[in-house]
Each structure stands twice: as C-alpha cells, then as structure tokens.
Structure 1
Amino acid sequence: MDLTDRAPRRIQRERKKGWRLPEGAVIVTRPTRWGNPFGVGELVRQTPDGYAKSYAGRLPPGLYTAEDGSPFEIRPVADRADAADLFRVHLLRYPALLLPPIRQHLRGHDLACWCPLTDAYGNPVACHADVLLRVAAGQEP
C-alpha cells in the first residue's frame, strides 16, 4: 500500500530542525482559512443550542438574558475537545456556506495542526482538524 491508498490523516506540526510538512499536506492552523476560531481559554458567547461566537465584550463569564428574553452564556473555551466541538457546531450552523469549500479544497489531503495527536496515556487528543477530515471525506461534521 502506498501513500495514495490510505485515508488522509492529521499531522502534528513541529518546530524542530529538519521537520518538513509532508508533500500534499495542508496546514489548518490559525490564521489560515481553515483555522479554528475558538481557542482554549478565549471567551465565547454561547446559546442553549450549543452555537457560540467569539466574545470580546465587557461582560464577565456567567449566565445572561438578552433583550429579547433569550438566554446566553459568556464562558471560556475549556479545552481542545470543547474547541473542536464548538467548531463542529459552527460548521453545522452554516453548512451550505462552509462545507462545500472544505470538501473541495481539503478532500484527499493530510491536515497539519499544532495539536498533539495523543495525550501522555496514548489517548487521542481532540482537534478541529479531525472535524475537517470528516467533512472533507463527505461525512457530517
């Protein structure tokens, strides 16, 4: 089996001498078009349906009610899994706009991000690149 016969995978970028991005791989970190807008520790304004937007306002973290009576929460992004899930929900909010370019440009490519592939115990670490790989393969986020 050669490289063209395997499914695209996530690659962890490295900052060490001699490391090179594999041929055909696409970088999906910030600030590229494919980067996750939700960073660990950054504030988001999230509605009960799970949809969130980056938040740079003055309200501290907490539960609030909008002028129209709808609830929302200001909270920090907890961890990489939370960031990847927020990204997934974001893609589901605008599928007709966001999914076709991912499928067109990323299908068949390995995707490179800074997130580690596994934790200290060998368990997979969540990353938005995993979401992009599913979408690029024609699946739902």
Structure 2
Amino acid sequence: MVMPKVLNKRTDTIPAGAVYVGRPSKWGNPITIRELKVLFPNDTPLELQEKAVGWYKEYLVEDTRMHDTSLTKQAQEELKGKDLVCWCSPLPCHADVLLELANKEE
C-alpha cells in the first residue's frame, strides 16, 4: 500500500480522491502566520510556520477543550488513507498533523 502524503496545491499533480485541507475547509488551521507575526515579530518565516503547525497540533490533538472532539474523529474517518492537499508543503504544514492523526494505528 502506498502511504498517503501531503501535496502542494500549487506545484503538485493532485490525484482523484485527494482532500483539500487548507482554508476555508473545516480542516484549515485557524491561526494564521500573519497573526503569529504580530506575536513573534522577530521570528523567521520558517519559525512562524513551525509555530502554526505546533499550535494546530495542540488545538486538534492535545487540548480537546478548545474544540468539539468530533473533529478529531472526523479526521480519522474521512482522511484515512487519502493524500491531503494544502499550500505549505514541503514546508511544515498543519496537514502533516492531520495525516499523522488520520493514519495512526489504533
């Protein structure tokens, strides 16, 4: 079986069945790089990207008080085995978090 991967909407060929997970989909990361730049003005773009991914993981996986836990369950049901499409890849991307969550072995 071919492992699912994160694809870049701008540069990759997107196969049938791949799922777009960027904004404004329900999977989009609610925090933006622009917001983080205000909080961390001295960070590099890559550092901001990494912070955004870390925050998304905290939001989705580690602190379910911040959202309806059904979103995590939906990710496991709807995204398992599928390629995910966003704009960030190959840079750190919240889609990496979704890919890991959706395909983890129970």
Q: Same fold (TM over 0.5)?
A: yes
Query: Which of the two has higher C-alpha Rg?
Result: 1
In the other structure, the counterpart of 2:96 is 130
Any conservation in 1 of the 2:6–2:89 contact (CA below 8 Å)?
Answer: no
1:23 aligned to 2:19? Answer: no
More helix by share: 2
Match of 2:29 among 28, 36, 60: 36
Q: What amino acid does structure 1 have at the position aligned with 2:54?
A: D
Deviations 1:72-102 (A, max 9, x none): xxx2595111100000000121183331110
Displacement of 1:20 after TM fit?
A: 5.3
In the other structure, the counterpart of 1:90 is 59
Counting aligned pairs with the same residue, the percent is 34
Sort the Cα spacing of 1:34 and 1:80 in 2 relative to 1 into closer, same or farther, 3 A.
same
Higher relative contact order (CA 8 A, sep 6+): 2
Structure 2: segments with no counterpart, 5+ residues: none
TM-score for both structures, normalised by structure 1: 0.60
Distance in structure 2 (CA, Å) of the matches to 1:76 and 1:31: 24
Deviations 1:83-139 (A, max 9, x none): 00000000121183331110011001000000131xxxxxxx210000000000126
Q: What amino acid does structure 1 have at the position aligned with 2:5?
A: R
Q: RMSD over aligned Cα, in angstroms?
A: 2.4
Distance in structure 1 (CA, Å) of the matches to 2:89 and 2:73: 27
- Any residues of structure 2 matched to 1:1-141 within 5 Å, and which? 5-14=1-10, 21-42=14-35, 75-76=39-40, 79-91=48-60, 92-94=62-64, 96-117=69-90, 125-138=91-104
More strand by share: 1
Deviations 1:46-81 (A, max 9, x none): xxxxxxxxxxxxxxx6xxxxxxxxxxxxx2595111
Where 1:34 maps in the other structure, the secondary structure is: coil
